[in-house]
Amino acid sequence: MHILTLIFLLLGLLFFTGGTVGILRFPDFYSRLHPAGKLDTMGLLMAMAALALYCFGEFSIASLFTGLKIILIVIFVFITSPTATHAIIDAGVRAGLEPWTKEKRKDMP
């Protein structure tokens, strides 16, 4: 059980790291929201799954309720994360923020 918990934690860390790299590397506001929304949600799912497995491994009523609370948190994040990302993108569009385009300069070959 501990090895499975460790695997899920490491996968969560991998997704969080990928999201961080994506946020730093993508060129504009809109494309940076993609890794922020997708990879951070998946990283949270993996990390919370590891915590739920750890709680369910103790086989007590208190740990069962704690594991169920963790599952409810994951469901809440899966519902609210796409909604929040959509609201942020909508705010950028309403503010007049233009998407990034790859333009070739005339002085460059």
Is 0.85 topped by the overall pTM? no
What are the domain boundaries of the chain?
A: 2-94
- Predicted confidence band of residue 106 (pLDDT cuts 50, 70, 90): low
| Total residue length of the chain | 109
* CA pair distance 103, 72, nearest whole angstrom: 46
Residues contacting 28, CB < 8 A, separation 6+? 99, 100
* CA pair distance 108, 47, nearest whole angstrom: 46
* CA pair distance 22, 63, nearest whole angstrom: 36
What end-to-end distance do the CA atoms of the chain give, in Å? 58
Task: Determine the average pLDDT of the residues in 11-31.
Answer: 91
- Predicted confidence band of residue 109 (pLDDT cuts 50, 70, 90): low
Answer for the pair 16, 85: CB distance below 8 angstroms, yes or no: no
Lowest mean pLDDT among 7-21, 31-45, 62-76, 91-105: 91-105
Task: Determine the average pLDDT of the residues in 26-43.
Answer: 88
Answer for the pair 51, 68: CB distance below 8 angstroms, yes or no: no
